[in-house]
Each structure stands twice: as C-alpha cells, then as structure tokens.
A and B are shown apart, each in its own frame.
Chain A
Amino acid sequence: MQENIEDQFLKDLNHNIGIVHRVCRVYVKDGDERQDMYQEIIYQLWKSYPSFKNNSKFSTWMYRVAVNTAINHVRKSTRAIKEEPLPENIDKMIFAEDEGPPGEKLQMLYAVIGQLSPVDKAIILLYLDDNSYDQIAGITGFTKSNVSVRLVRIKKQLEKKLKNER
C-alpha cells in the first residue's frame, strides 16, 4: 500500500475502530479467538482498502468487510460453537431502569446477542450501531423490507430469550 493511502487508511480506521471491536465481541466470546478475529479483520480491511472507492461511506464499507470476515471466521473455526446458558437474573439486569451499571447491562446484552445466528447477529449489531434500514440493506444484501421484517423477528427473539430466563 502506498504511504499516503496508508496514512488515509489509518486515519479512517482509527476513526471507526470501534466497529471492529463490536463485531468481534458480538461474534466471539473467547478472548484469544477474539484477538485472532480482530487481527484478521484488520488485515482484510488493509488488503481491501486500495480498492475502496468513495461510492459508500467508509464505515459502511468497513461493516461489510468486518461482518463478512467474522462470518467466514466463525465458519472456519475448528472450535465448537456451543450455546451457553445466560446468567441468572439477566432480565432484571437488562430491563431494570435504574439498577446496575451500564457496562454490566451491555455485557448482558452481548450475552443475549451471542445466542443469535451469525446473520441475525450482523443485523442487530448494525441496528444498535444506528445504521438506517437502507444502510443495513446495503451491507447485508437484503431488501429494505426484509431488513425490517427480520429486525422485528430478532427483537422478538431477544425478548423471548430473556423471558425464558425468568
């Protein structure tokens, strides 16, 4: 990669680095494997950056590469993916308005999202990151109406998972 392109890449990457962390956190629970995925995503972004044309926002392009790499990583992973039970009182921890520190609530939310399918994880991540339905559709390849339908289903699924723990 040429030096000026690399500088620009670093600038754009640092501005949006949280996307990589959130994608990794949503897809992988284990610390070492999460680090592997983080490095793989950074590498894929670095490799693909020279072909990034400013047709879309950098963050939109970054989501696409990161989610794609994460799904492929999960597919290739030799480690068994098991559905772990959610912690007790998760509903209270998440839904209580004034109880519990925000970090703990988020941790619980990640635990619930961790139980979704790889594609549903991508959609809820994009939704929580405040992407519009158009942007989610552009990243995942769904139509806007499909995104809408799937989001309703995912939200219901999340709610159900939480209620089951009560």
Chain B
Amino acid sequence: MDTLDNLKQLWLQDSLETNTNETLNKETMEKIIKPQIKKEQNYIKEYLLAFAVWQILVYAALSHFMVRYWADRQFVLCCAIGILSFIPYSIIFHRHANCVKLRALKNPDAPLAGLQTDLSSQIKQVSSYFTFKKRFDYIGIPVISFVMMAIIMKVSPVPHTITAGAITFGITLAIMARTTYVQNKNNFELPLAKLRLILADLTDTGS
C-alpha cells in the first residue's frame, strides 16, 4: 500500500516537529504529577476507608447484639455464625486491598511487563478475587440474610411467627441478592469482559 507509505513520510515529518516543539521543565512536571499523586492517593484512601467502615459496621453490630441479647442463646449463635462467616471474606478482602495498595504505591514498574503480561496479570488478579467472592456469595448471602432476619425479628416489632420470619428472610435475601448481582456486574463482570476482549485482540494471531 504505497499511499500509506507516503502518509508515513508525512507522519514522520510531523513527529519530528512535535518532538522539538515542546519542552517540559520541573515546574510543569510538578503541575502534572502532584494532582495525579493526589488523585491516586484519594482513590486508595476511599477504597480502604469503605472497606474498613463496612467491616467495622458488620462486626460491631453483630458483637453489640451478642452482648445485648446474651441470655438468648439461639440469637447469640446466629450472630456468632454471622461473624464467623464474615472472617474469611475479611481476610481475602484485606489481601486484595493490600495488593491494590502495593500496585498503586509501591510497584512503579507495573506497566513495564509488556501489554499481554500486564493484562493477563490484571485479569488473573481480578478474576481470582471474583471467583472467591462468587463462592462466598452463594453461602454468605443466605447466611447473612438469615442473621439479618434474626436481628430484625429481635429488635423490631415484627410478630414472632414463622410466616413473618419467612417474609422478612425473603425480602432480605432478595435485596441482598439484587445488590450483589448489580455490584458483581458493574465491578467485576463488565471490567473483566473489557479486559478479556482486549487480551483476545492481543492474542489473536491476525490470520
């Protein structure tokens, strides 16, 4: 394609001009770098804060109910199950948060591995966490819904009947399942699909 080769000459000529037309100095660099660092640090802070607040809320609420209704052994057992089922999630989430923190703050050579390697490692990291989260969701959502149902029944004026319990459990389960579905879709499935599409494009031999 000769025409593209002609255009290449124009392109190269233009490239030469762009290379020599602009000079960045320390001041302009500072103006570019500082907001970027702040942006990245804010993102990490928000991520870790949200994680910490969510964990504290769950453990504090369950512990509070355990102490408050200590005499009711069945209810205490419910809260204990809630806490126990949350511990592995906290551990894995904590590891994942550390990975993100390390990647953003301590691993400046992350983009150097080459496009395919970098994308593959991103996909591996996100999908391994997502796989764990999905497994946790299958067990965790019904368990947490049950614990929430027990708490609602205990602290609110809902009549203590099997029907009321079943309805409360159903509503809690539906809300939890819907929220988790939307969260998984937006935070994991769609980003993973985009990453895989780019990787597929990269690994396509072009034939």
Contacts and interface: CB of A to CB of B under 8 A. Distances in A.
Interface string A103-141: 101100100000001111010000111100000001111
B204 to A, nearest CB: 8
A101 to B, nearest CB: 10
A149 B207 contact: yes
Q: At the interface, is chain A mostly helix, strand, loop or mixed?
A: helix
B57 to A, nearest CB: 28
A48 B108 CA distance: 5
Contact of B108 (A51, A94, A142, A150): A51
Contacts of A51: 108-109, 112
Contact of B206 (A22, A102, A153): A153
Contacts of A118: 198, 201
B18 A109 contact: no
Given A43-B33, A102-B10, A140-B202, A95 B15 contact: no
Interface string A1-45: 000001000100111111001100000000000000001101110
A71 B198 contact: yes
Task: Give the interface residue-count category, chain B.
Answer: 35 or more
B205 interface: yes
Interface in B16-35: 16, 18-19, 22-26, 29, 32-33, 35
Contacts of B22: 14, 17, 21
B191 interface: yes
A16 B23 CA distance: 10
Nearest to A110: B11
A14 B123 CA distance: 34
B116 interface: yes
A5 B16 CA distance: 25
A158 interface: yes
Contact of A150 (B26, B32, B206): B206
B104 to A, nearest CB: 10
B8 interface: yes
A140 B23 contact: no
B118 A68 contact: yes
Contact of A141 (B10, B115, B207): B115
Given A10-B29, A21-B18, A46-B29, A130 B12 contact: yes
B161 interface: no
Contacts of B32: 39, 42-43
Given A16-B19, A44-B111, A141-B114, 14 more contacts: A10-B25, A14-B22, A18-B16, A22-B18, A46-B29, A47-B108, A51-B109, A65-B112, A69-B111, A119-B201, A120-B201, A130-B12, A146-B206, A150-B205
User: What 4 pairs across the A-B complex have the smallest Cβ distances?
Assistant: A18-B18, A141-B116, A150-B206, A43-B36
11 contacts: A6-B26, A17-B22, A46-B29, A51-B108, A68-B118, A69-B111, A71-B198, A127-B8, A130-B8, A141-B116, A149-B205
